[in-house]
Amino acid sequence: MAEERKISMAVIRRLPRYYRYLGELLEKGVNKISSRELSERMNVTASQIRQDLNNFGGFGQQGYGYNVDYLHEEIAKILGLDKNYKMIIVGVGNLGHAIANYSSFEKRGFKLVGLFDVNPRLIGMSVRGFEVQDIDKMESFVKENSIEIAILTMPKTRVRQTAEDLANWGIKGIWNFSAVDLALPETVQVENVHLSHSLMTLAYKINDEEEEME
Amino acid sequence: MAEERKISMAVIRRLPRYYRYLGELLEKGVNKISSRELSERMNVTASQIRQDLNNFGGFGQQGYGYNVDYLHEEIAKILGLDKNYKMIIVGVGNLGHAIANYSSFEKRGFKLVGLFDVNPRLIGMSVRGFEVQDIDKMESFVKENSIEIAILTMPKTRVRQTAEDLANWGIKGIWNFSAVDLALPETVQVENVHLSHSLMTLAYKINDEEEEME
């Protein structure tokens, strides 16, 4: 799949939304959709949709539209959702708890298998059927269970060291919820969720709109 | 500020990260930085930084670099962080709880003033000094307190109706954590946090990296 190399992350970041919409269509029994219809539903231009999907060979037939099931499956393959991933959560505060309870992740192949914390009051507690383990046991757990993804929902101060340890123990991806940018070897992929950035963007939109109305 | 109209959301979305870095520099007592230094720290090209900041008139002086304090303040103004926003959280499950406890939001002018839920077991409970209120009381609360931002951390099924109600009651921005796209009047700005999209993007990166190494 050498031709996929050049696809921009901007396109990749739109794929989960296509995937979600197509999944909703399938649930409703819709098997065929034109780029115009998909465009109206998703509030994206039809030409944007065609361009995005052409990056992966198109999938559409002129005058027929898209086969929803096929397109859904192909996007799943591109995103790697045809595989399973074993995940752990590091930091079982409210956010760690919230993420542990997202049952929809599991349906897409993201399987939570362990939770870790340093707090003695949390260790031993049960969250969604998992016992919260002492972070001291994380190294052997990650290695023995070939954990692929670590979700970091822990305080900022400990994130860098933990991420480096996890990288050394063979983790492949880190989903980072702290406001710290991680510098890790290329073998480890990082996806950041900066909630404060999102909130600042909302502030911008609110102000921008107010200026427009003045 | 008519010239700001054309700034792409891609640029806007990078500003919070500049803002955060510049804030960290200020805390360390750094008052001046070259675009090259800023670039190395942020892992963004120096030309990207210059281009981004030129959208807002530059701020840099040839051969001198950026005045960190000034740039930090100007970005704050662009993002609307020189104002205060009153926020409520709708849905006080784990995620709502987690967000209520982000004290860093308040430092940037995002002031939590109320929490609402439908669950009788949660109503009356205290979270960060706020009593969780019955959602039936939300309309009068929003109107009387001129609430600007509503954070929706509630189940998917109720999100659309709640968002429409909030729009009618005069809210300016919705921070939406559910996997539902909202169609609202133009007077209401929506910022979505789709956690599942972020996780799918991480899966893509992991697979992409593996293919590259093969």
* CA pair distance B95, B88, nearest whole angstrom: 14
**Per-residue model confidence (pLDDT) at position A3:** 45
Q: What is the pLDDT of residue A188?
A: 96
pLDDT the model gives residue B62:
61
Average pLDDT of A141-168?
96
Residue B3 has pLDDT above 60, yes or no: no
pLDDT one-digit tens code per residue, B60-77: 666 677 889 988 999 999
Under the banding of pLDDT at 50, 70 and 90, the label for residue B6 is: low
pLDDT of residue A48: 86
**Token pair listed for A125:** 């507690």
Which tokens in the block code for residue A36? 């115009």
B:84-113 residues touching chain A, CB 8 A cutoff: 85, 93-95, 97-99, 101-102, 104-105, 108-110
A10: burial class by Cβ within 10 Å (0-12, 13-18, 19+)? exposed
Give the C-alpha distances (Å, rounded to integers) separating A102 from A79, A99, A159. Answer: 19, 5, 22
Q: Specify the pTM.
A: 0.89
What is the mean pLDDT of the segment spanning A75-98? 95
Window from A8-17, A57-66, A199-208, B45-54 with minimum mean pLDDT: A57-66
pLDDT of A80 strictly over 60 = yes
Share of chain A above pLDDT 70, in %: 92
Query: What percent of chain B is predicted at pLDDT more than 70?
Result: 92
d(CA B38, CA B165): 44
Average pLDDT of chain A? 89
The yes-or-no verdict on residue A129 having pLDDT over 80 is yes
Give residue-wise pLDDT tens across range B99-149: 999 888 998 999 999 999 999 999 999 999 999 999 999 999 999 999 999
pLDDT of B84 over the 80 cut? yes
For an interface test with B, give the residue of A202, A207, A210, A212 to mutate (most B CBs within 10 A).
A202
Q: Which residue has the higher pLDDT, B100 or B210?
A: B100
A202: nearest CB among B98, B175, B198: B175
CB contact A184 to B (< 8 Å): no
Q: So what's the pLDDT on residue B2?
A: 42
pLDDT in the model for residue A212: 66
What type of residue sits at position A7?
I
**pLDDT > 50? residue A57:** yes
Whether residue B171 is predicted with pLDDT greater than 60 in this model: the reply is yes
What pLDDT was estimated at residue A213? 61
| Whole-number Å distance between alpha carbons of A149 and A137 | 16
Whole-number average pLDDT of chain B:
89
Judging contacts by C-beta atoms under 8 Å, the chain B residues touching residue A7 are: none
Is residue B7 over pLDDT 50? yes
Which residue, B106, B102, B72, B56, is CA-closest to A178? B102
pLDDT at residue A4, rounded to an integer: 46
ipTM for this model: 0.91
- The helix or strand, by DSSP H or E, that contains position A81, with its residue range, turns out to be none
| Residue B15: pLDDT band with limits 50, 70, 90 | very high
Residue A70: is its pLDDT beyond 50? yes
Task: Report, as an integer, the average pLDDT of A181-196.
Answer: 93
Nearest to A42 by CA among B166, B180, B199: B180
Instruction: Tell me the C-alpha distance between B199 and B194, whole Å.
Output: 9
CB nearest to B94's CB, from A97, A194, A213: A97
Residues of B in contact with A9 (CB under 8 A): 201
Terminal Cα distance for chain A, rounded? 51
Q: What is the pLDDT of residue A36?
A: 85
Interface membership of B4 toward A (CB under 8 Å): yes
pLDDT at A28: 94
Q: What is the per-residue pLDDT across A87-120, written as a single tens digit (0 to 9) for each?
A: 999 999 999 999 999 888 998 999 999 999 999 9
Task: Decide if pLDDT at A22 tops 80.
Answer: yes
